[in-house]
Chains A and B, each alone.
Chain A
Amino acid sequence: MSYGGRLKVVLITGRSIKQGKSKDVGKFFDEYREAIAICEMNPMDMEALGIPEGGYIDVSSPYGSITVLAKPSPDIPSGVAFIPYGILVNTIIPPDTDSTGIPRSKGLEVWITPSAKHLPDLKFIVKLIGGV
């Protein structure tokens, strides 16, 4: 569903080969940031929102919002978005585990909007967590 330039999707997180490969290169290297700051979406959804390929989007949940690069992928069904595991997507994942010990990292409902922002600096995010 898209209204007013917002799209409600089900967020799936997971491993991608780029994320896996770059995490052992170094997590403060651009290669890693590029691997995790990406959101795969159905091309139709991107079109509906008017996002060009390589455009930035904001992904928001009640817990926070992140800016990532949108990447069209016909294998993702409409209404679903995929972001690789990492510090970015964890900003918007709820901390409650419903007593299972594991946060709900797949199947969270999030809102997607086109963004004017840039990719965040990972060190900056760590500092936000660490209380600077």
Chain B
Amino acid sequence: MRITFKPLTPFKVPVDLSPITPDNLEGMDIGEVKSLQIWVGSKRKRIDEIFLVELSEDGREEIAIVFMGDFSKARGIGSGMSRGSITVKGSGGLRVGEYMRGGTIVVEGDVDHWLGMAMHGGSIYVKGAAGSYVGAPPKGSSKGMRGGSIIIDGDAGECIGAYMRDGSIEVKGNVGLFPGLRMLGGTIVVYGNCMGRAAARMKDGRVIILGSVGSILPTFQIEEIRPSVRGVRERLEGPFYVFQGDLSEDGRGRLFVSKPSNPELAFFEKLL
């Protein structure tokens, strides 16, 4: 079953879409879906006051939700979902896939900050760019991403995978500062460049950067050079400098940095 939501008019204020998940819509008929209430700014509104809702049978039992349009002011798309799928044909807003446990989310445009916040499982695929704190726990908590996978085709912001414990994040574009901040486990692969300070304060886990990294924090120590490393779904060809850290945290994490993309790190070879 496929349910499509099209905004009647562009959003002017934040819209909380967290109740519209396959889990919540299961067993509802179109009337029930339309009468669901969500927060639009500080007002409670019925779904059919703001969306054109269409339901079509595609012969599958699983619920597929489609959001059509610009959702850059939306919050919490796919919040806590455990099954089914959500497709956003447009931008996705903040906290897409927060606390997600299963199922899939595909966003065709960009998403804002806190993508896959504290996610436990499932998979997220963003075709555009993502903001900061991908997979990170909400402020103040240290329970980061615990499973599942996130793939971003575009760039991503700062602190992706902060406090991450397990699962994987792959970014095809460039990332900002601090990928893998305070990471405890899991894998982050950045195919593009990193602005710097990769894996700061990491305790464990793996951060792999194929582009340039700016510089390596003084709290990391070079260990070896490896011809290739295991990525998330494929083997990545290097060679890679392998750093261990963060030493100031007694960390045992690994930071893999492509040797060809970072000629300025050659001086580390002398230390081997």
Contact = CB atoms under 8 A, between A and B. Distances in A.
Interface of A: 98-100
Nearest to B131: A99
17 contacts: A98-B113, A98-B131, A98-B132, A98-B157, A98-B158, A98-B159, A98-B176, A98-B177, A99-B113, A99-B114, A99-B131, A99-B132, A99-B133, A99-B157, A99-B158, A99-B159, A100-B132
Interface in B126-176: 131-133, 157-159, 176
A77 B65 CA distance: 56
Interface residues of B, number: 10
B158 to A, nearest CB: 4
A99 B181 CA distance: 15
A104 to B, nearest CB: 10
A100 B159 CA distance: 11
A103 to B, nearest CB: 13
B152 to A, nearest CB: 15
Contacts of B159: 98-99
Do most interface residues of chain B lie in helix, strand or loop, or is the interface mixed?
loop
Do most interface residues of chain A lie in helix, strand or loop, or is the interface mixed?
loop
Contacts of A100: 132
A100 B133 CA distance: 10
For the complex of A and B, list the 4 residue pairs with the smallest distance between their C-beta atoms, beginning with the closest: A99-B132, A99-B113, A98-B158, A98-B132
Contacts of A98: 113, 131-132, 157-159, 176-177
A99 B114 CA distance: 8
A99 B112 CA distance: 9
Given A98-B113, A98-B158, A98-B159, 14 more contacts: A98-B131, A98-B132, A98-B157, A98-B176, A98-B177, A99-B113, A99-B114, A99-B131, A99-B132, A99-B133, A99-B157, A99-B158, A99-B159, A100-B132
A109 to B, nearest CB: 12
A100 B157 CA distance: 11
Contacts of A99: 113-114, 131-133, 157-159
Nearest to B136: A99
A29 to B, nearest CB: 37
A8 B158 CA distance: 24
Nearest to B176: A98
Contacts of B133: 99
A106 B169 CA distance: 30
B177 to A, nearest CB: 8
A86 B157 CA distance: 27
A101 to B, nearest CB: 10
A115 B167 CA distance: 53
Contacts of B177: 98
